C-alpha cells in the first residue's frame, strides 16, 4: 500500500512501488482525466503536476512521488491560474478531439505559474513535448496568451 497526496487528499493505493504514476492515478485512484498515449514520455498526454512541476506520469514511478503533492486535470481549477487556463480554452474553443488537452492544460498551467506573460517562444518551448494530432497548436498558444490576459498580466 502506498499513500499519495492527490489533489489535496491522501489516497492509499494498492500498487507496487515501480508502478507508473499514470496507472496509479487511472486504475488505483479512478482519476481517468490523465490520458495514456505513448507510454514513453514523448507525447505529454499524461502530464500532471508534482509539487507544481509538470511531469510525465507514464514514466514516473509512484515511489518517487510519495510525500509530494500531485495535481491532476481533475483539480486543474484549484487556483486562479488553472481557472484562467480552462476559461481561455473554452473561450477560444481550443479542443478538437480533446485527447491531448488534459496534458496541454496542465503544461499551460505550469508555464503560467512561473511566467505570467510568456512569449510565443516560451509557450512553444514549455509545451513542445505535448503533441496534438489535430494540430491545435495555434489555438493552444492563443489560449495561453488569453489566460495570461485574464490573470491581469
Find the distance separating the first CA and the last CA of the chain, reported in whole Å. Answer: 44
Supply the CATH classification number for the domain 76-150: 1.10.150.120
Domain edges within the chain: 2-75, 76-150
What is residue 14's DSSP assignment?
-
The Cα-based distances of 138 to 6, 8, 91, 93, 97 in angstroms read 31, 33, 14, 11, 15
Record: fold of 2-75: Ubiquitin-like (UB roll) (3.10.20)
**Contact residues for 118 (Cβ-Cβ < 8 A; gap 6+):** 111, 112, 126, 144, 145, 148
DSSP characters over 97-147: S-TTHHHHHHHHHHHHHH-SS--HHHHHHHTTT---TT--HHHHHHHHHHH
Among 105, 128, 112, residue whose Cα is nearest residue 47:
105
Q: What is the mean pLDDT of residues 10-37?
A: 96
What does the pLDDT look like over 45-94, one tens digit per residue? 999 999 999 999 999 999 999 999 999 999 999 999 999 999 999 999 99
Whether the per-residue pLDDT at 98 is higher than 90: the answer is no
pTM (predicted TM-score): 0.93
Q: Tell me the per-residue pLDDT of 104-152, one tens digit each, with 9 for 90 and over.
A: 999 999 999 999 999 999 999 999 989 999 999 999 999 999 999 999 8
| Inter-axis angle of helices 80-91 and 101-114, nearest 10 | 130
Amino acid at each position: 500500500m502506498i499513500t499519495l497526496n492527490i489533489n489535496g487528499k491522501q489516497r492509499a493505493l494498492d500498487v507496487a512501488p515501480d508502478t507508473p504514476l499514470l496507472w496509479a492515478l487511472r486504475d488505483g485512484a479512478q482519476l481517468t482525466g490523465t490520458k495514456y498515449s505513448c507510454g514513453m514520455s514523448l507525447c505529454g498526454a499524461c502530464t500532471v503536476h508534482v509539487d507544481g512541476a509538470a511531469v510525465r506520469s507514464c514514466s514516473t514511478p509512484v515511489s518517487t512521488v510519495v510525500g509530494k503533492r500531485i495535481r491532476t486535470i481533475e483539480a486543474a481549477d484549484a487556483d486562479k491560474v488553472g481557472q484562467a487556463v480552462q476559461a481561455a480554452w473554452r473561450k477560444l474553443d481550443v479542443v478538437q478531439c480533446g485527447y491531448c488537452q488534459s496534458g496541454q492544460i496542465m503544461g499551460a498551467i505550469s508555464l503560467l505559474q512561473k511566467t505570467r506573460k510568456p512569449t510565443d517562444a516560451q509557450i512553444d518551448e514549455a509545451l513542445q513535448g505535448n503533441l496534438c494530432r489535430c494540430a491545435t497548436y495555434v489555438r493552444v498558444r492563443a489560449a495561453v496568451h488569453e489566460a495570461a490576459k485574464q490573470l491581469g498580466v
